[in-house]
Amino acid sequence: MASPKVCKLTPHNFGFACLIAASLFASSSSGQSVEPTPDPYFKPTAKKPDFQNSYVPPTFSPGSIGKRLPQKIGSPSSSLSVPWSHERSIVRDQASDDNGFKPKSGVVDPPGKIQLVSGTEPVAKQEGIRVAELPTKKKIEPLKTFEPGRVVAIVGGEPIFVGDMLFEVNQIIESKIPQAPESAKQVQRQKLLTMLTKKFVDQKMLFVDAMGKLPAEANIDDLVKQASNVFNEQVLPQMMESSGVKNISEFDGNLRAQGSSLRQVRTAWAKDQLARQFVQQDMKVDQTVTHQEMLDDYLANKEKYAVRARSKWEQVMVRFDKHESRTAAKRKIAELGNQIIYGASFSEIAKKHSDGFRASKGGQHDWTGKGALVLKEIDAAIFELPIGELSDIIESRDGYHIVRVLERTDATHTPFTEAQIEIQKRIKNDKINAAFEKHLERVRERIPVEYFPLD
């Protein structure tokens, strides 16, 4: 029996491949469980960057859905000059799979005559594709606006899919407008996808550029696996702990609910680390920071090191809305003030009778910076009263107050001797960022980018 054929992804059949990929995703999201394929990890034999000694905190960006790992650079099967090959198998080789494809056993047309059919009617002809039968009960829907398999941009021959961006987009939406209706979220998704496209293009561009500089004998698969091992050992436990999940399956389920998966996050992190390694090697940055540079920065930005006056104080308050009249409220605050004057504990009076939100704490307020309070009358009083003295009755929009200052510090500046460590770190970061932007500009000149509008 002839071996099953595969279709190589070319500019002529790319749209057709997207259609089939869309049907696979639609069927897998219809309620069937799609288990991620286990990915083995082993130590590579080619010379590689040392990830163990150059750990960088993770950045998250889901990887491409259904995307194959790259061919070895210089491999005869690689049809493009970019590090990753676009070769993909359109139809799987097993007898059936979780997405409903059931190839007809032993039925293969001659080369050049092979067609993909649904029932008995041909829907498309592609040379090199073996006969497969699409399930008649499942209708292939048109690509949706935010179909994960939809291409947003192609960077140096490498596609960026909507699915690569959905995880970050959904995280932003759920953190900002979790209670909004789905229609409103969908509008924001399109805006965020447009806004974040440049960021993802830059990330992909750096990866493509880095992979293009690998020696011919290097194996990209091995490099990704090495970085993935670091992710499993160092990053994944931290992510699970911060997410409050108990096991990997639960964590992966949470990621899938946000449009990603553990495999996608792991792969994206690994690629990001590869790109960072090569960027650090390419960038020539003099990170030396002199004493004069730090002093000049301190004098030029002295307002950044200003420290506001602060006050620690206590208060008894009587609210207008809790008394029948302003007169009754004023009578009550006067009684409380007199009790304090004649020896009653300020804290006990506040706990029993104050209407302030800190009443249960004895009316005590911790260090408060000048200008931080909404009630300007109180803000002025706690920075003008002598320490330890009771104020007169103060009227605000909400009620009557009596305050007492416990401690206070004057406005000042952080001394240069205390600020220079922070200044040195910031100047060094500024130099690195400037060098990175120059490097990115050079990469943009070398790597072609084609955008596909989302409208």
State the DSSP string of 67-133: PPPPPPTT-TT--SSSSS-----SS-SSS--TT--BPPTT--PPTT--EEEETTEEEEE-TTPPP-B
**How far is CA 383 from each of CA 111, 281, 318, rounded to the nearest angstrom?**
89, 54, 21
| Tokens 């990175």, located at residue | 436
Quick one: average pLDDT of 21-41?
41
Distance CA 190, CA 7 (A): 32
User: At residue 442, does pLDDT exceed 60?
Assistant: yes
pLDDT-wise least confident of 52-66, 141-155, 425-439? 52-66
User: At residue 18, does pLDDT exceed 70?
Assistant: no
Query: For residue 77, what pLDDT is reported?
Result: 34
The alpha carbons of the chain give a radius of gyration, in whole angstroms, of 32
pLDDT in tens, 344-384: 999 999 999 999 999 999 999 999 999 999 999 999 999 99
451 sits in which H/E element: strand 449-451
pLDDT in tens, 87-126: 332 233 333 333 333 333 333 333 333 333 333 334 444 4
Domains of the chain: 1-34+66-147 (no CATH), 309-410 (3.10.50.40)
pLDDT in tens, 237-246: 999 998 888 8
Query: For residue 242, what pLDDT is reported?
Result: 86
Q: How far is CA 120 from the centre of its chain?
A: 47
Buried b (16+ CB within 10 A) or exposed e, 238-247: ebbeeeeeee
For residue 346, which phi and psi values (nearest 5 degrees)? Answer: -55, -45
Distance CA 179, CA 260 (A): 21
Query: For residue 287, what pLDDT is reported?
Result: 85
pLDDT in tens, 152-209: 999 999 999 988 898 889 889 989 999 999 899 989 988 999 999 999 999 999 999 9
pTM over cut 0.75: no
Distance CA 120, CA 358 (A): 77
| Tokens 């609210």, located at residue | 319
Distance CA 262, CA 62 (A): 9
